[in-house]
Amino acid sequence: MPSLRLGSTAPDFEAQTTTGPIKFHEFIGDSWVILSSHPGVFTPVCTTEFGEVARRASEFSNRNVEVIGISVNSLEDHYKWIQDINDYGSKVGPTDVRFPIDATNRNAKGLPFAIRSVFVIDPKKVIRLTISYPASTGRNIDEILRLLGDKYCVTTPVNWKKGEDVIVHSTVSTEHAKELFKDVTVHKRDALKGMKRTFLQ
């Protein structure tokens, strides 16, 4: 399998999932995709993660984002685990896992492997984000949703949150920024050696 690096094309593959067979590039279609690998079924951390993603499904769909999980366990185990996730989720909020989970994750030698990682893939099948977590640490869904803002031609300053000002990408001229966005403020600072930086409010 090719190296999964930022800017590289996500490999195409066929898999049996909990929602039926898929071809990955067809599954992506014209959507953004979050591919989430997990160490194993019935583990406490993964159960809370997948339950949270299921509960917040509308936040992903509103952003034109599809979600797919990948693991080393059997399809039968995943069907049972989905019921377990839904049972757990019902205690903290409505949960209904509907996104596919692929059970064919193996390395180049055909041996099963797993790591707690997240890949964000754009509609052109390009990998735009990768995050790997230690097995003891659950994913931060708010942070993943925040990072999906990468699909716009803006950059975010330190500790940025939704609703705050962003910075138009330096490759976009001020004139073009004003065509793209309504509220544009241009700042000049000596520290930037006279370079213009365009901010959206």
Look at residue 83 in the predicted model and tell me its pLDDT: 87
Evaluate if residue 151 carries a pLDDT over 90.
no
Q: Is domain 14-147 annotated with CATH 3.90.1150.10?
A: no
Residue 143: enclosing H or E segment and its boundaries?
A: helix 141-147
pLDDT confidence band for 152 (50 / 70 / 90) = low
Q: What's the pLDDT tens digit per position in 7-36?
A: 899 999 888 888 889 899 999 999 999 998
Q: Which residue has the higher pLDDT, 99 or 160?
A: 160
Non-local (6+) Cβ contacts of 152 within 8 A are 166
What is the average pLDDT score of the chain?
77
The whole-number average pLDDT for the span 82-96 is 69
Q: Which residue has the higher pLDDT, 195 or 35?
A: 35
Domain borders along the chain are 14-147, 155-200
Computed from CA positions of residues 190, 193, 194, 199, in that sequence, does the dihedral angle turn out positive or negative?
A: negative
Q: What's the pLDDT tens digit per position in 158-192?
A: 787 777 877 776 667 777 777 767 777 776 654 44
Residue 133: enclosing H or E segment and its boundaries?
A: strand 127-133
Burial class (CB in 10 A: 0-12, 13-18, 19+), 53: buried
User: Bridge-partner residues for 119, per DSSP?
Assistant: 35, 130
The catalytic residue positions are: 46
pLDDT confidence band for 104 (50 / 70 / 90) = low
Distance CA 25, CA 9 (A): 10
Evaluate if residue 80 carries a pLDDT over 60.
yes
- Where is average pLDDT lowest: 17-26, 82-91, 101-110, 147-156? 101-110
Look at residue 27 in the predicted model and tell me its pLDDT: 94
The count of other CB atoms within 10 Å of the CB of residue 1 is 8
